[in-house]
Structure 1
Amino acid sequence: MDLAERRYRITRADLVRYAGASGDFNPIHWSDRIATGVGLPGVIAHGLFTMALVGRAVTEWVGHPAPIVDYTVRFARPIVVPDTDEGTELVINAVLKSVTEDGNAVLDLTATCEGEKVLAQARATVRQA
């Protein structure tokens, strides 16, 4: 069983807002000069911002954050955010992997940007109603 795909646009303005909310003002998240100077392809989204967007998708699928029992990811590659009004797009998909003995649904999550996986081993376990 597949759940409806979710898509989220990420812009530099989003990165600025996230930096303010999280306190993570590392210049790799806003300065092309610094990001490329340390070997990155450009400004990258905060990993935890990416993780939060995938968590948002899970919350939208289940209708509320309370049923989420467990949520784990591994970061596979950064999301490069161009300095344009459009930014880039994160695409999130989920497949029902299994149902546990206590009736919880285990979702395998896939997050991609420009066709490349940005998270690995992403999984959420949710209580079913």
Structure 2
Amino acid sequence: MSFSELQSNISLPSFTKPAVSKEQLVQYAQASGDLNPLHTDDNFAKSIGLDGVIAHGMLIMGFLGQYVQEIAGTESVVHQFNMRFGAMTKPGDVITCGGFVKQLMEIDGQPAVALELFAEKAPGERVGTGSAVLVCSNPLN
């Protein structure tokens, strides 16, 4: 979808990641430095009342950030991006990102769009919601 196709209230194409795996959680823990055993040790997670490990919230934010960057493509830049965490993500959950165009606007004279975003593990079961603003990097196209 090109920047010029982004119109108010249109739904954005969805983006689905492969199922979250325990190996991915260990790799993310090492890469991020967040070594909380809640994300890597089932026995620890069970000792605090969970069924097992849960994904890092920031991993899910990374998925949503990747989605925003895919929407931005080469025609726009991400001006703002934020996310609120929702339900827990567990190994085996498949995360789908989506959203819609909330508003067309201008920033410093450049065309821009405000997006409302979500990440969910099942229809209606959101693990995160957010927003982003994309600014057209080449308004002549």
TM-score by length of 1: 0.86
Give 1:93-104 correspondences, 5 Å limit.
93-102=98-107, 103-104=111-112
Cα deviations by residue, 1:60-96 (Å, 9 ceiling, x for unpaired): 11115x7001011111121011xxxxx2210111100
Match of 1:72 in 2: 82
2:96 counterpart (84, 87, 91): 91
Give 1:116-127 correspondences, 5 Å limit.
116-120=125-129, 122-127=130-135
Return the offset for 1:11. 1.0
Structure 2: 5+ residue runs without aligned partners?
Answer: 1-9
Give 1:1-129 correspondences, 5 Å limit.
1-9=10-18, 10-63=20-73, 67-81=77-91, 87-102=92-107, 103-115=111-123, 116-120=125-129, 122-128=130-136, 129=138
* Distance across 2 between alignment mates of 1:126 and 1:42: 37
Q: Counterpart of 1:104 in 2: which secondary structure?
A: strand
Return the offset for 1:97. 0.5
Greater Rg by CA: 2
Match of 2:7 in 1: none
Match of 1:84 in 2: none
Tell me how many residue pairs correspond in the alignment.
123
Return the offset for 1:41. 3.3
* Distance across 2 between alignment mates of 1:54 and 1:92: 6
* Distance across 2 between alignment mates of 1:112 and 1:41: 20
Matching residue's letter, 2:72: V
Return the offset for 1:2. 1.4
Matching residue's letter, 1:95: F
Matching residue's letter, 2:103: S
